[in-house]
Amino acid sequence: MSVLVDRIGQLVTLDPADPDRPTRNDAALVIDGGHVAWVGDAADAPAADERLDADGRAVIPGFVDSHNHLVFAGDRADEWEARMTGAPYTAGGIRRTVEATRAASDDELRATLGRHIAEAHRQGITTLEVKSGYGLTVNDEARAVRLAREVTDEVTFLGAHVVPADHADDRQGYVDLVCGAMLAACAPHARWVDVFIDSGAFTVDEARRILTAGREAGLGLRVHAGQLAADGGVALAVDLGAASVDHATHLTDADVDALARSSTVATLLPLVEFSTRQPYPDARRLIDAGVTVAIATDTNPGSNYSSSMTTAIALAIRDMGMTPLEAVTAATRGGAAALRRDDIGHLGVGARGDLVVLDAPDHRWIGYRVGVPLVAETVVAGQRETS
Ligand code: NIG
Ligand code: FE
């Protein structure tokens, strides 16, 4: 089954094979068998089985949201409200979600997860990474990665989210458990292992042990670091060859240099800064240094409960020094790089047919019309999902 997408206002391909032409006018595109089969001038478009008439609207690659915590129960709206009047964000709130998540049934968790996946698709997100991290026992973490695996291939084992209350006096024992029985139970269902490095979570030394064990179990590495302070996590992530270091808000010059010399992506999460009233990361500094930057939503009940990638893009443009095209690139190709994928995040020939039709003539309107639902249609592997 082939689909011709034509009458496109602006086509944002971000094709890595055509780096000097990230956007095109008067272009059309054909998806065949779930993948982009042809991109070119509309006048030369071949015939296809079906037609998607973009009617002058922009077409961009589907968003790749490479950082989410979606296997959870309950909410923490009270913490958010307190932050709005000056209370700080701390990792401590995670334990409240752990308690609610442990008490929930598989079906309850599955239903919440399904609602979030549908919500993400409605907002143009066509690939989602999902982390565990609100179970923190062998069985509860294994359940979380199994449920996540039902909805995505990009599953991350985050047993090292915080030390749970039941191990408060035995950090060492908890790290041993994460590296041992928990990892063994989770690794078969996961692609990645992640650690939250923070004064309220894990130290760099603990993270090194956990990530090394994860790597030995065949998992790729991701790290939460630099959310609330420059904490040494970036150097560790680069040293271990992690695919991504996430948050990356507080960075030393040495961190920026190390990232620039590595293939580790800096995944920025501006909705977290918005929801925790923290200063935004300086994306300009990273891009100018040559660091690959991604933007993700980090949807979770604590530090940010918005899944709006378009809002994240608008914040990145307004407050992080990114141009509109850099921000859209970070939310698509950047996310793909953070997941070490080259088949998504762009619309070059051979890429998966994941795209968004915007209710706007070009990509700049995402920031220009912040807060307005501009995602008219989300297409995943050539399948239309009207929203
Ligand atoms: O990425 N920072 C650590 N983990 C999440 C927040 C989790 C929570 O507060 O429940 C994050 O921001
Ligand atoms: Fe996170």
Tell me: the pLDDT tens digits for 314-325?
999 999 999 999
Binding site for Fe(3+), by residue number, is: 67, 69, 224, 298
Sorted by sequence, the CB contacts under 8 Å of residue 169 that are 6+ apart come out as none
Domain end point (choices 299, 315, 338): 338
Residue 68: DSSP 8-state: B
Whether residue 174 is found in the same domain as residue 115? yes
pTM of this prediction exceeds 0.95? yes
Domain end point (choices 301, 320, 338): 338
Which two structure tokens, joined as six digits, stand for 267? Answer: 């995944």
Q: What is the CATH number of the domain that holds 18?
A: 2.30.40.10
Whether residue 261 is found in the same domain as residue 376? no
Ligand 1 binding pocket mutation candidate from 65, 69, 99 (most atoms within 8 A of CB): 69
Ligand 1 binding pocket mutation candidate from 94, 231, 304 (most atoms within 8 A of CB): 94
Burial class (CB in 10 A: 0-12, 13-18, 19+), 132: buried
Whether residue 97 is found in the same domain as residue 57? no
pLDDT per position as a tens digit, 123-178: 999 999 999 999 999 999 999 999 999 999 999 999 999 999 999 999 999 999 99
Q: Quote the ligand 2 centre to 288 CA distance (angstroms).
A: 25
Output the pLDDT for position 386. Answer: 57
Whether residue 52 is found in the same domain as residue 99? no
Q: Quote the ligand 2 centre to 298 CA distance (angstroms).
A: 6
The protein residue with its alpha carbon nearest to ligand 1, atom 8, reads 302
pLDDT per position as a tens digit, 66-86: 999 999 999 999 999 999 999
Q: Which atom of ligand 1 is nearest to the CA of 94?
A: 10
Rg (CA), the chain: 20
Closest CA to 65 of 129, 114, 112: 129
Neighbours of 355 (CB within 10 A): 31
Whether residue 112 is found in the same domain as residue 164? yes
Closest CA to 349 of 14, 5, 26, 37: 37
Binding site, by residue number, is: 67, 69, 76, 134, 161, 224, 227, 298, 300, 302-303
CA 349 – CA 35 distance, rounded (Å): 8
Output the pLDDT for position 149. Answer: 98
Q: How far is CA 312 from the centre of its chain?
A: 11
The protein residue with its alpha carbon nearest to ligand 1, atom 5, reads 303
Q: Quote the ligand 1 centre to 92 CA distance (angstroms).
A: 10
With a 6 Å cutoff on the Cβ, whether 264 touches ligand 1 is no
Whether residue 113 is found in the same domain as residue 176? yes
Q: What is the CATH number of the domain that holds 98?
A: 3.20.20.140
With a 6 Å cutoff on the Cβ, whether 233 touches ligand 1 is no
Structural domain span for residue 367:
2-61+346-386
Whether residue 23 is found in the same domain as residue 71? no
The ligand minimizing its distance to the Cα of 162 is 1
Output the pLDDT for position 244. Answer: 98
The protein residue with its alpha carbon nearest to ligand 1, atom 10, reads 302
Whether residue 309 is found in the same domain as residue 269? yes
pLDDT-flagged residues of the chain (< 70): 386-387
Whether residue 103 is found in the same domain as residue 211? yes
Output the pLDDT for position 385. Answer: 72
Whether residue 322 is found in the same domain as residue 352? no
Q: How many domains does the chain have?
A: 2
The protein residue with its alpha carbon nearest to ligand 1, atom 3, reads 196
With a 6 Å cutoff on the Cβ, whether 63 touches ligand 1 is no
Per the DSSP assignment, residues forming a β-bridge with 294 are 267
The protein residue with its alpha carbon nearest to ligand 1, atom 7, reads 302
Q: How far is CA 327 from the centre of its chain?
A: 13
Q: Which atom of ligand 1 is nearest to the CA of 302?
A: 9
Whether residue 20 is found in the same domain as residue 144? no
Neighbours of 43 (CB within 10 A): 8
Output the pLDDT for position 12. Answer: 98
Domain end point (choices 299, 322, 338): 338
Per the DSSP assignment, residues forming a β-bridge with 125 are 63
With a 6 Å cutoff on the Cβ, whether 249 touches ligand 1 is no
Q: Are 337 and 292 in contact (CB under 8 A)?
A: yes
Burial class (CB in 10 A: 0-12, 13-18, 19+), 95: middle
Which two structure tokens, joined as six digits, stand for 36? Answer: 């982009």
Which two structure tokens, joined as six digits, stand for 285? Answer: 């500094």
Q: Which atom of ligand 1 is nearest to the CA of 198?
A: 2
Whether residue 118 is found in the same domain as residue 250? yes
